[in-house]
Structures are given as C-alpha cells and as structure tokens.
Structure 1
Amino acid sequence: MHNRNYIAAACTLLALSIAQAHASEQSDAKGFVEDASLKVLLRNAYFNRDYKDKTNDAKVWGQGFIGTFESGFTQGTIGFGVDAYGLLGIKLDSGRGRNYSAFFDTDSDGHPVDDLSEAGGAVKLRFSNTVLKYGNQFPSLPVLAYDDSRLLPQAFTGTLVTSKEIEGLELNVGRFTADSPMGDPARDPNRLKSIDVIGGSYVVNDALSVALYHSDVEDTFKKYYGNVNYTIPFNAEQALNFDFNIYRTDYDDNSDAALDFGGDGNNDKNTLWSLAAKYSVGAHAFIIAHQRNTGDAGYAYDYGDGGSTIYVANSYYSDFNLKNERSWQASYELDFATYGVPGLSYKVAYVRGSNIEAGGESDGTERELFNQFKYVVQDGPAKDLSLKLRNSIYRADNNVGPDLNEIRAFVEYPISIL
C-alpha cells in the first residue's frame, strides 16, 4: 500500500512538471560531457574521545579521499546522466582498544583495518526541472540525511525524485533499500528493509521559508517533520532570525529504536521540537534556544534514516534528545572578516538538559560546552583549504551517560579536476 502511494506521489511530481514547466533547466542542457564535473576532496581527520570514567578511549587519525563525478544531462526533452563516487580511507594512527568504528571497521581479531574503500554510482533522468535518480546517493533531507561528520560519508541506495518546477518550491519523494554507514565499506550491513520519504520546502519570500516531510522506515518508525524559518531584518547590519523545528515519531511495536530510547515497545510515540532565536549584528551573533522532548520514548535517528537526521537547535556532541528531556542553549558566533581575517569564524555554545528519564530516574541532567574554530583560505595556491577544530566538554549524571572530553580536527582541500 505504501509503495503504491509513493509511486503515485512520484507520478504527481512528473505531471506537475508538465503542467508548470517554465524556465526549464533541461532546455539549457549542454551535454553529458560539457556539463560534467570531477572533484576530489582530501580530508585529514583526527578524533579523540576521552572518557573520564576510565572506559576505553577512542583515538583515531585517518586520511580520506572522496572523489565525485557528476555528468551533465544529454540534450533533448528528457536528459540522461550518470553520477559516481569513490571513497578511500587510510588509517594513520589507531589501535586495538581505542579504535572508533565510525572511522574504521574492525577485522575478525578486533583490530581496525588499515584502509577501506567503496565505490558507487547512480543514473539520472531530467525532464524540465524534475530529476529522477536511481542508485547510490547522499540524500540530505530532514527525515533522511546522510552523515558526513567523520572521515568518509554515509551513502544510501535507492530512488529519489526531486522537482523544482515552481519557483521557490522543492518537492522530494523517494524509496531507499540499503544503507552504507561511515567506516564500513559494506553496501548494507545494517540490513535496511526500506525507507520511504516524501515532502518539500517552500521559500515564501526573502524572510520566510517552510518545510514539511514524512518518512517510513519499515518495521522501525514513521516520522513527521515541520520547519518554519523567519527573519526580521532591521538594517544592513542587524537581523533577528527565528528557527522552529519539530519531529513527531510513531514507533512500530517492539521497535529497537524505541526500546533503546526508553520506550516499552508498545506503540511508543515521541515529539521533539526546538525554537532558536538568533540576533546578528555585524560580525557578531547571539543565539538562545529551547528544545523539548515528550512522549513514551526519546527521539531516535540513524535507524535506517541517516546519522544527520536531527534538524534541531541543540545538537552538538549530545543531541539532548532523551526521554522527556528539556534543554536550553546560549551561544555566540564571531566572523573575523570584520577584523581583517576573512574566512575565520568561531562559535561557542553551552547547552544544559534536565528532566531526563533514564536508568529508573526521572530528573537526570546533562551539560555540554562546545567550541569550534574554522578557517577557509580565501586566495592563493591553497585557496579553499579549510581547517576546523572543535571541542566538546560533556558532563552528565551517571544514569544518563559517561563524562567525556572530545576533540575533532579536520583539514580539507577540494580539488577540481574537471
């Protein structure tokens, strides 16, 4: 039944493209080769998670090579194209007992592998401003978002239709049946049955945008998402932005996701929402945010829907997404371009969560102090080279989670070959 519904939705998008086509991207197609691009991202990544309760720390360092090829579309009413990628990760430092599986998988003896590689591809068709793509992809939607926060990115296999026939409106509908996680070259080690997604976003005007999405991970949960983003500009230097995000999750009976987050496996439900207010003045930005979790279980993600499927304000090392948790954030951002260093930025955030129901207690707390520096070279031979250093100091009650300090360092250099 669900398959027919999603197929019908895809057909509706195609019909919409016929009815609404105006400034067609396909009519401007130059050709398969003429519009093609080939890029390689060099990523050097270091990860250090120091657990303060004497458990095994995670320390790993690796070099990643992320190659992506995107062809153009052939000319004509319907354009044809191909996308492909190749991933290679090389271990520079780690060891048994301190490996981090999101970087490198382990062999049968429990040792991290010395390297891992993966390749994938997808075919694509375009009619007017609607693209149908089938194969290995990196979906980035609020209810299905691949994770690219470690050495190599997560990938999914399936079909996605994206339509942009109406100016400001993007519609998506898709079905995916395999998940290749970070640190594991296997195509579908987690045995994803299927995830269906549908929804879209609309830019109403320069100040207001909205989004609405739905997903269904087979035998796990059904998820609904909404967003409203509104900006009040005061002048060229000052603005106030409000960002509201909400997830509603209906867990399937005996879902592992619900059980892992405090549910009893009996038709558990969850609602997670956040509201952030950001005041920007020149080079400075001040943010306050509140996030609240209610229901029979906490908010679960990365159970077939991707490791970045948590579009809420208070998501850093901790996502502050535990059962009945309430959290507040105060943060500050600084753009050093005003002070003569373009490309350099800094962010500091403090988040505190309380009222957590975990480990038989109902008033648990957790706290995180987050700091991040980022610098992107603006010109010269090393133009676009980026360096990012982030640190989280995390403390929590024993029934909530282990105390830890975490450092992540990334050096990335994009190379455009074609």
Structure 2
Amino acid sequence: MKVLMSSPWLCSLGTAGMLLSGITQAALVSDSTVTLTSRNFYLDRDYKGETPYAAAREWAQGFILRANSGYTEGPVGFGLDLTGMLGLKLDSSPDRTGTQLLAYNAKTREARGAYSELGAALKAKVSNTRVSVGTQFPNVPVLASSPARLLPQSFRGAYLISEDVPDATLHLGRMDRVNLRDSTDYQPIYIASPNGRFIAGATSEKFDLLGGDYKWSPSLTLRYFHVELDNIYKQDFAGVLHTLPVGPGKLKTDIRLFNSQEDGRAEAGRVDNLSAGAMFTYQLGGHSLGVGYMQQSGDSAMVYLAGGEPVVLSDGTMSADFVNPKERTWAVRYDYDFAAQDIPGLTAMVRYLHGSNIELPQLGGSNLTESTKDFELAYVVQSGPVKGLALRARQNFYRNNLSPAATFRSDNETRINIDYTWKFW
C-alpha cells in the first residue's frame, strides 16, 4: 500500500508512530525497530563534447524512516512495516535537473522544493516463511530496489520469502506498480530503454518472480530466478558464488547468467539477449584484486526494469550499464580495506571497464566502444557520539564514441554522500 503525502513530513512521522505504537500497546507484537536515516547527496555530471545540455547537477537532503513491528504470538504471526521518505532540495536549476535526486516539473524542469511519501506493508509469518502485502524493497538479481539516489525505488505487491527448506532461501512475488526514485506516486511497470533499445511507452501491471538461493556448502551458493513482465519480457537468471582458499588468501568467483526473451505480445519490441559474466577476485589481507568479463549475445540489449540498474558485472558504475547489443566488456577492480593498517572503517576502490563491439546503427553504427574509470573513498566512523556516520566520495570518468543523441554520453561525474542512521529501538 502507498499513501501519497500532501500533508507536511511531520504528519508522515506521526502517522507511522501512532500505527506502530497502537500495535505495541496492544501487546500484539515484539521486537519492533524504528530507525531514521539522514542522507545528504550531491551529484555532479559534467558532459563532454557535443551534448544537448552541459550538466546535470543537484544537491539534496533525504530522510528515510523505517518503523517495523515484530509479529504477534501464535502459529501465525502478524505485523506491520512502515516506511516514510522525504526529499528536500538544497540546490538545483532548470538547466541542470535530471539527476534523479529530485522530482521536477517535466515542462519547466523546475525541481520541487520537497516531496514525501509513506509506504506500508502488512506481513505474516508461519515458521520461517514470511509474506507481506504492500510496499516492497526487493533485493535479488532480477528485481532490485535501487538505492543509488536520494530515496530508494519501491514496488507495490505481494512478496514471500521462505527459509523452511534447510540451506535454501526461496522467493515468490507479484508486483503491479513501481515508485521511481524521484517520484511520489505509483505507476505501471516498464523497462529501461537507454540508447533507444526498446519501444518506449509499453507498461505492464503484472511482474511475477520465482526463485531462490541454495547453500550447497559453506563455500558454494547456487542461485536461480525466473521473472515475467506480462506481454513485455521474461528472464531466467542462474548464478554461482564460490570461495576457494588459495595460498595465504582466497579466490572469490561470481558467475551471473541472464537469458531474456520477449513475452506474449512483446509490446516493447524484440527481446533476445544472453548476458554472461564472471568476476574472479583474489583477497589477501586488506587487498582485493578482481578481473572480470561480460558478453551480450542475441539480437537485443539486456533488458531490465526502469528506475534501477542491471545486477551485472558493471553494477555500481555511475554513467552507463555496459549491456548494449553485442557488447563485450572487460573489467579490472582493486579494493583496499585500511583496517589492515589499523584504520577500521576506511576503504578505497579503483575500477576500469572497457566495452567494445557495440552495435547501435542509429547511434553510430557497429564496433562502438565505451569505457569508465571509477574511484571511491569511503569512511564509517567507528566510535564516539556519531558512530556509524558514513562518508562516501566517488569520481567517474566515462567516455564513448556513440553519437550525441545517445542516452549515455561522455562525462565526468562526482557523487558525495553523507549518511547517518538513528536507532530509536
């Protein structure tokens, strides 16, 4: 369920508090938790070369309240989860909106000063099986609620997670609406179509999900998921996560396969893609060095839902997704955890991706290329009055030889986040 908040933010907080308080006072639940996350977000995307507009640059402050009850006693337990969200404009201009941090007027491109919402989900639990109906924040390879902006993307639907089978986690769900990261209302679900990959405007009110993870051994996890967006696409995912001791360190293997085809009336056009990727990362002390490869096969690009990112090898890149038709991508990534130098909480990352063999006739032809250099420095305060305060700075240099009409254009991008979470109980 989603309630659009035309009243002030304090009404959202008050409503959440009263609902949860009422349930608690009735002694119907235990183990309730209430947290409030403050998220300060600056995003600066400086476009290079020929471009319709020079920059997308905004600064915003967000608040995310999560009030989650426990479950009533008895064979079947019941509960309620509430999520209140508020976004505030700190700096924006009509000539540089479009960062997806803030909601804005499509005609004037003027960002709204504030936008807020309250989501709710009724939930039940039997043994180790939990089901909820309402606002959902799923996090699986085929349906991930994107946290990459000020406020997270959410879905409306029914979702079941079961851990009753030993060593397995099973997922079953149906979603009928999506609330995008810079929006306050639900809308039918549709697919992302950067670079004009698919037919725009096709939507669906039926997204079905089935799958799960199976822990074969302490070092090996097998994954499989199947999803269908009615009359648009269907997709199968298979994954392997494996850890192997090698010398003084360990080798981590992450394999991800996505097989996508059109479904029913194929209202978004032809979908025919096999995305195969693998990342091999060696960890030794505070060092992690990874090398990966990803390949797109078939007649189309990889398909994924609008408002988020594909959970592939390029996951986390800021300016592109590297899943264009026929694309071949190499990746090298290095991470360092300064806890090895007695500086816990400080981490750094450097990554390079290079995509080639891109086929986009309408945006430059064949054998097109793209590349990105990503840098990240993050610190989480470990003690004191602001323990848990998270600081994160990221810099990205993205280049391609596609035409200026492409969705993804060469740019330099900076993102700075400051997050802090209060835990009330």
Please tell me the TM-score bracket, short chain as reference.
Answer: 0.7 to 0.9
1:215 to 227, 249, 265: 227
Q: TM-score, normalised by structure 2?
A: 0.85
Superposed, 1:13-412 pairs within 5 Å as 32-53=28-49, 54-56=51-53, 57-100=55-98, 102-107=100-105, 108-188=107-187, 192-234=204-246, 237-252=248-263, 255=266, 257=268, 265-266=269-270, 268-303=271-306, 307-313=308-314, 316-317=317-318, 318-359=320-361, 361-399=365-403, 401-412=408-419
Closer, same or farther in 2 for the Cα pair 1:136/1:192, shift >3 Å? farther
Deviations 1:314-368 (A, max 9, x none): 6512221000000101111101111121100001011101011013522011010
Contact residue 71 and residue 83 of structure 1 kept, 8 A: yes
Write out per-residue CA displacement over residues 388-415 of structure 1, whole angstroms, 9 at most, x where no aligned residue. Answer: 1111100101346421011111100010
- The one-letter amino acid of 2:272's match is K
SS in 1 for 2:385: coil
Partners of 1:70 and 1:308 in 2: CA distance: 27
Amino acid at match of 2:300: A
Q: Give the distance between the partners of 1:316 and 1:256, measured in 2 at CA.
A: 29
What is the deviation of 1:313? 4.9
Q: Distance in 2 between matches of 1:112 and 1:176?
A: 29
SS at match of 1:97: helix
CA distance in 1 between partners of 2:188 and 2:225 (Å): 27
Q: Deviations over 1:44-73 (max 9, x none)?
A: 000011111343210000000000011000
Which residue of the partner structure matches residue 12 of structure 1?
none
Amino acid at match of 1:55: P
Aligned CA distance change for structure 1 residues 125 and 142 (closer, same or farther; 3 Å): same
Q: Are the counterparts in 1 of residues 338 and 346 from structure 2 also a CA contact under 8 Å?
A: yes
Paired amino acid for 2:138: P
The aligned residue for residue 192 of structure 2 is none
Root mean square deviation, CA, Å: 1.7
TM-score where L is the length of structure 1? 0.87
Residue in structure 1 matched with residue 4 of structure 2 by the alignment: none
- CA shift at 1:234, angstroms? 3.4
CA offset at residue 308 of structure 1? 3.7
- Give the Cα separation in 1 of the matches to 2:58 and 2:233: 33
Number of positions where the alignment pairs a residue of Structure 1 with one of Structure 2: 377
Deviation for aligned residue 1:254 = 7.1
Tell me whether 360-369 or 173-182 shows the greater mean CA deviation.
Answer: 360-369
Q: Secondary structure at the match of 2:96?
A: coil
Alpha carbons of structure 1 residues 66 and 368: separation in structure 2 relative to 1, 3 Å: same
Does the 8 A contact of 2:204 with 2:231 survive in 1?
A: no
User: What CA distance in whole angstroms lies between the structure 1 residues aligned with 2:266 and 2:227?
Assistant: 16
Q: Secondary structure at the match of 2:94?
A: coil
Identical pairs, percent: 32
Where in structure 2 are there 5+ consecutive unaligned residues?
A: 1-26, 190-202
Find the aligned partners of 2:347 and 2:61 in 1 and give their Cα distance.
24
Q: Work out the CA distance in 2 between the residues paired with 1:227 and 1:403.
A: 32
d(CA) in 2 for partners of 1:101, 1:189:
22
Change over 3 Å in CA distance of 1:149–1:314 after alignment to 2: closer
CA distance in 1, matches of 2:235, 2:228: 6
Unaligned runs of 5+ in 1: 1-30, 258-264
Aligned to 1:23: none
Question: How far is 1:101 from its partner?
Answer: 5.2
